[in-house]
Structure 1
Amino acid sequence: MVKGLNRILQGFKNYYSLSSIGQKWLGKIDWYVLERLNLFWNKKRNVRKKHGRIKDLMKKITYTLVKVGS
């Protein structure tokens, strides 16, 4: 799943990094992707708090997910 997501995020990064306005939104896209992955992970693992354990997820995907806003 992360492999397919990385291809899409890399395309966003290549397209939107050309404009100055795009740079502003790349960080927000990073946070949105992380938040949605956290919701998916918690639902799959039956975690009570929907937005909990984001630090655990960040540790798991630090080296695998493409960072768009850098």
Structure 2
Amino acid sequence: MATTQISETGAPLEPVGVEGCATCTALAESRQIAREVDDLPAVAHCNVQIRNHPHRRSSDWRTVAEQRVWGVAL
């Protein structure tokens, strides 16, 4: 799960994505581009997406035989 850094004053800073996650990397790049063009709603949206992006432990993943899509085994 993404973490949120805390400033010296105790105020939360932007969330930091998980290293090596392509989704977190893409969102961080989008956030930087949005910041460069002063699109603050887009920056906030990227922060929410990074914060809410799920990361599971390898033990949480089901084997291919156990995976189901809409109740149908893959």
Bigger radius of gyration, 1 or 2?
Answer: 2
Q: If each structure's strand is expressed as a fraction of its own residues, which one has the higher value?
A: 2
- Please say whether Structure 1 and Structure 2 have the same fold, judged by a TM-score greater than 0.5: no
Q: Which has the higher contact order (CA 8 A, sep 6+)?
A: 1
TM-score range, shorter chain: 0.3 to 0.5
Q: Is the helix fraction higher in 1 or 2?
A: 1
Q: How does the TM-score come out when normalised to structure 2?
A: 0.34
